[in-house]
Structure 1
Amino acid sequence: MKRRRPTRAELIARLPRAFRPKLLPDQIRDLSLAHYANLDAVHRGEASGEILWQMVGGILTWMRITEQLQRGVDEMLEQHELVLQIVARFVRTGAVTFAPGEYEVARRGVEVMDALAELVDRPTAIAAAEWSELRVLHMEHQAKEAA
């Protein structure tokens, strides 16, 4: 009986994390631009609910990655708490804003997420992004019901 040859993706998944392909430099740059664009939109008071959910998705993605890499866990927990406060405020008021002191916390979080982007391997990042998309859809649905 002939054995099936493993696919390229299966072979890559077997590799230790350190040997898996990393994010490409342009992907890292694009992620950073998205992080800062969202941060800036909230800071200027121009963020919509759509931007809020993008931020939530990003933070959930990077939280999932920190669980996998065991780096930046405390910092991303702080970001998670922050974004939950912003979501609660959004549900109450309809506005996506920072309370005093939150901008500085969020800015530090963007720096952590950018550093994690340099470390993470592509398969881990993709899996985390897919996981967070499902979580965001669920959270967004709950927020609509609460409003």
Structure 2
Amino acid sequence: MGLEYMLKKLGLAIAVGLLACSLTACGTARAESTEDVAGNLESAISAVEGVSSVNARHKASIGMGSTVSVRVTAEPGAVLDSVLNDSLMAFAGASDGISSTAAVSFQVTEDGQQNTIAPDAIGLQKSPTVREVRDFANGQ
């Protein structure tokens, strides 16, 4: 009973330790400064012709992946497809600090209007990954 009992206890202790490590990896530890990344995105997209305002958020968690949310308000009368296309190009250029597998939620709305378009309006998936946005930008 002595050796067998000790091996079972050791196995259980190792299993608990591995579980704890796995759960810690899925926690909310930040891979980098999400505020800096969001600020870089906002600065780049704000420079696009026809953009009135930008709200960008970046959430990076080690083990759980990253997400990016960008809401662009276009100036009244702006061509939304052009603003979306150019904003995605600016996003790709400013996306260095973001994982290529991060999911992207991107919307462009004309100021004071209800019409909103997403990347699927110009040939991408509705919620592309950062890699897909970069590939799109490189293919233009």
TM-score of the pair, normalised by structure 2? 0.30
Structure with greater proportional helix content = 1
TM-score of the pair, normalised by structure 1? 0.29
